[in-house]
Amino acid sequence: MMLGATVRAWWVAIVNAVASNLPDDPFSSRLRAYLYRLISMHSGTAPTIKGGCRVNGYRLRIGNRVFINRSCYFDLSAPVVLGDNVVVGHHTLFVTADHEVGTAQRRAGAVKAAPIVVEEGAWIGCQCVIMPGVTIGHGSVVAAGALVRENVPPNVMVAGVPARVKNTALDAGVSAEGRAAE
């Protein structure tokens, strides 16, 4: 049992070490997606995952035409699901693990984890932190540097720490460009 966990951990570490250090040309990007699939990432067609990213576990599911920019981190203590056409800016963190607040002897108490869902079409800017249990609604925008700890409704823009809705007037329709991509 313990040996199995160690072998799995080494396998994830080796895939991360190779995949995250490949360059960002189209062939290497495809190879990187293939390597992540070897550690059970489920992905749709044409994923782009740039270098420097780290996937800490097995529970990443991404849809069609997802774009993940450089040096993002996926803590996969619980699943992270990115819908079709989701774009993620560089250095964004997906944090699924949390702790109960413990006693004064050790405030980081019992571990708990909750999944993150980013619905189709959403755009997350660079250097965001997405917290455990959050759902980001379809077509929404998370501005650069935001810390998202509550669900984001569809087709709004949120910004800040903690993230607050700043714009509720985003177009909810599908553009000609969006239809052409289907």
Ligand X SMILES: CC(C)(COP(=O)(O)OP(=O)(O)OC[C@H]1O[C@@H](n2cnc3c(N)ncnc32)[C@H](O)[C@@H]1OP(=O)(O)O)[C@@H](O)C(=O)NCCC(=O)NCCS
Candidate ranges 26-34, 35-43, 70-78, 140-148; the one touching ligand X (CB under 6 A): 140-148
Give DSSP secondary structure letters for 65-100.
T-EE-TT-EEE-SS-EEE-TT-EE-TT-EE--EEEE
Task: Indicate the residue among 36 and 123 with the shorter CB distance to ligand X.
Answer: 123
Minimum CB separation of residue 122 from ligand X in Å reads 12
- In the block, tokens 């909750």 appear at 114
Determine the Cα–Cα distance for residues 86 and 173; give it in Å rounded to an integer.
16
Tokens for 149, please give them.
Answer: 């700890």
- Listed in sequence order, the residues at least 6 apart from 59 whose beta carbon sits closer than 8 Å to its beta carbon are 40, 76, 78, 79, 80
If one asks whether residue 167 binds ligand X (CB under 6 A), the answer comes out as: yes
If one asks whether residue 166 binds ligand X (CB under 6 A), the answer comes out as: yes
Minimum CB separation of residue 92 from ligand X in Å reads 9
Among 44, 52, 145, 153, binds ligand X (CB under 6 A): 145
Residues engaged in binding ligand X (CB under 6 A):
69, 87, 89, 125-126, 141, 143-145, 157, 159-160, 166-167
